[in-house]
Structure 1
């Protein structure tokens, strides 16, 4: 099977790669029959290297498909992803396709497991968050023989297609706006970067743009776990107690930024005069805050819409020409917490 061969893998491919019969491969993958440990391991290794996923549709041909689109996201607690799902669902409502959702909790190993299970039911397409996956997950996506759209990010090379924004560019744009507004002592508060690749890329773009202006992030506070107002309050208090001379706080998302805003207002801090602040995502739920938070739209609904349109078009016509990378352009909203320049 060549790298450009888009057909689904079969038992024969695993048989040839492992050097055993198709019947033996079937026994190993169904975990039935008497097979030696060495042979079992050889088959499982070959299947994983190829990206082969067994077909769970009883009695169906290996090439058959169900009218499901696997949508794999990191979290349902984060308000970002339900908006993406809304865009996906709206498009697929006009087709025979139905989305089915899997959640990974930002864990690569769990994503691999979720992807394996979903592909075993032979969906018609996959929409999956991010561009960073384990090698086994990438192999499964390449070998699935169906349209794959990686969403939320365009800073990298997709397996098939990608729809999203450049998070490095978003970070650079926010840094440029902050420097232009005259802020110099900047703190960053955000997620644990190894797990949230998109937040990490924004931070990288942010620090790179600051460095070009001779400015640096003076202090930073990271956390693991879900986004929450309480967490934002705690982190903001910790950072300002450690360095009260900070004049701008950049948060990796709006939820913790909102907690920081409420804390600083309670402390009587002049915003944006004494301290400016900004988040990311432009979450509509926060429109009722005492001050409108400076933020940047991550194009969530549009990402879901365009990803589903690509899937629907390619399922209807496998030879249809579609854009391989669709990069959307987020915009800064300075709100009430970033000085206007």
Structure 2
């Protein structure tokens, strides 16, 4: 006799009974592990958690409430809220949802795919109508949940890859390539690169690869680069440029992975008496307002962050059902010539 399944679950979604069967325990024991209630032997808990991970089981904490009425939650997972880039994305999402019944629930991943996975699994227990995540790269477990869930998915910022459902953003590799091409056309030949230590920032890596590709086409390459050991910040940019120039004072332009670090580079130039643009070009990424408010506006790439968030949320609102065809929306980017390179 076929077993009964939760009416709100997809037919191919694993149930608690599946978890219990794989772990070799009763459903009551499996439920106690899921709810973290009562004393459970460590070995039993380990078997149940292993079965949960293997099956991709998600407990339905919204059963009979949100799920029965149609969830109005939209889970949003962003790498950071201290970086002004992502609050701009969030403003776009909020603007699209303001006149609707939907409410965003925010999680911050700190650019860590394992943290993203953990928050995602936690959010999915509440049966959201849609999930918004940054980037196209996730852990295998997170990817499996996104692919097989009964909810819409929008992956933001990046379009260089295969989306689960909707991808909204720009080609970061192309942005890096256009940066290199632009600077070569302006006469720069001795390139430096000052970056931060976030190995999981795939978008920064893609821009770096695009930059190197453009230089190679021009018969050039990076003369020097320096990796600041901590996260991105204005101080990181200032210190990274100081170290880079101490070893290679003949550089004529330095590219930074974002405007925060590029601004730090400008501050170092001010301190060291280096004439920006005349002696050393400085180029960033993102097009932040603070960079454009400087006496010498920062030369950079404008990423359309508000538009990305707004477009993604609006697209998710079009239908609760995930269409067969995947959607890629290129919001593009603009080169801001500025006055620093």
TM-score, length of structure 1 as denominator length: 0.88
Per-residue deviation, 1:336: 0.6
Match of 2:100 among 95, 98, 104: 95
Q: What corresponds to 2:200 in structure 1?
A: 195
Query: How far, CA to CA, are the matches of 2:194 and 2:32 in structure 1?
Result: 51
Residue 336 of structure 2 corresponds to residue 333 of structure 1: yes
> Contact 2:177–2:214 at 8 Å: present in 1 too?
yes
Query: How far, CA to CA, are the matches of 1:36 and 1:271 in structure 2?
Result: 64
Query: How far, CA to CA, are the matches of 1:6 and 1:264 in structure 2?
Result: 62
Residue 138 of structure 2 corresponds to residue 121 of structure 1: no
* Unmatched runs of 5 consecutive residues or more in structure 2: none
Change (3 A) 1:200 1:161: same
Q: What corresponds to 2:84 in structure 1?
A: 79
TM-score, length of structure 2 as denominator length: 0.88
Per-residue deviation, 1:91: 0.3
> Contact 1:87–1:302 at 8 Å: present in 2 too?
yes
Query: How far, CA to CA, are the matches of 2:24 and 2:161 in structure 1?
Result: 36
> Contact 2:237–2:263 at 8 Å: present in 1 too?
yes
Report the more deviating stretch, 45-54 or 120-129. 45-54
Residue 240 of structure 2 corresponds to residue 231 of structure 1: no
Query: How far, CA to CA, are the matches of 1:62 and 1:305 in structure 2?
Result: 25
Change (3 A) 1:132 1:327: same
Q: What corresponds to 1:216 in structure 2?
A: 221
Matches within 5 A, 1:245-324: 245-315=250-320, 318=321, 324=327
Q: How many residues in Structure 1 have an aligned counterpart in Structure 2? A: 333
Query: How far, CA to CA, are the matches of 1:224 and 1:327 in structure 2?
Result: 33
Report the more deviating stretch, 181-190 or 282-291. 282-291
Q: What corresponds to 1:148 in structure 2?
A: 153
Per-residue deviation, 1:274: 2.1
Deviations 1:61-114 (A, max 9, x none): 876653111110111110100000000000011211011110011112211221
Residue 136 of structure 2 corresponds to residue 131 of structure 1: yes
Deviations 1:32-52 (A, max 9, x none): 467766654443223212322
Query: How far, CA to CA, are the matches of 2:324 and 2:314 in structure 1?
Result: 12
Change (3 A) 1:319 1:281: closer
Q: What corresponds to 2:50 in structure 1?
A: 45
Per-residue deviation, 1:328: 2.0
> Contact 1:163–1:306 at 8 Å: present in 2 too?
yes
Per-residue deviation, 1:11: 2.5
